[in-house]
Every structure is written in C-alpha cells, then in structure tokens.
Amino acid sequence: MKRRIHQGVAFFIAVMVFMCVTGVDVGSQEKTPPVKGKTVNINKASEDELVKSVPLISPELARKIVKYRKENGNFQTLEELLQVDGFDRNLLRRIKPFLLLEGIGGKDCTC
C-alpha cells in the first residue's frame, strides 16, 4: 500500500516537473484563439509592415520595435523582443509564428 502511494506521488512530481520544463501552463485551461497574419523579417520590417502583417502589433508597438532595432542593432533572438516596452511572453508566444530572424550574421549569413 505504501509503495503504491509513493509511486503515485513520484508520478505526480514527475508530471509537474515535465509540465514546468516544457512550459505547460498548469493553472489555465483556456485556449488562446489562433491568430492569422503574414510572416515578416523582424530585422527588416517597417512599422507599417509590422502592423499590417503581424497580428496583435499596434502602431505604437511597431514604432517601439523599429526604434529599439535602430538604437540597438538587429535582433539576435526573437526573445530579445521582450526588451521592447510593451512586449511580454504571452504576446511573443502568440506572434512568434509570424516572425523571421534574418540578417544577423552579415551579408553571408544564411540564417
């Protein structure tokens, strides 16, 4: 009996660790509705392209992205967008499929 309880506790802990490591949100059962848009290169897109192509990007946020890029150079990772005022992980997660990272390795870069 004790062994079965210990196995159950160990299984529960393993599931919780797996969910934390893979980023599964344990507290929320809500599904975020899918968004539609076009893919853009985050290192080349203008404010207008960002607003028209990437869902959930407001004109103000597009301005901040372009300003950040001009002041700091090309984005090296998509996660660097979290440095832009107004960005959070949830927004990044939702729009990531619409963002490309190109042009970070010089003219010979094939990334």
pLDDT of residue 110: 43
The residues, any chain, with a CB within 8 Å of residue 99's CB and separated by 6 or more, are 39, 40, 42, 54, 78, 81
Mean pLDDT of 26-36: 56
The predicted-structure confidence for 62-82, as pLDDT tens digits, reads as follows: 999 999 999 999 999 999 999
Mean pLDDT of 97-111: 66
User: φ and ψ at 99, to 5 degrees?
Assistant: -115, 135
d(CA 6, CA 50): 52
pLDDT of residue 17: 57
pTM: 0.62
Mean pLDDT of 50-65: 96
Homologous superfamily of 40-100? Photosystem II 12 kDa extrinsic protein (1.10.150.320)
What is the domain partition of the chain in residue ranges?
40-100
Return the H-helix or E-strand segment holding 41.
Answer: strand 40-41
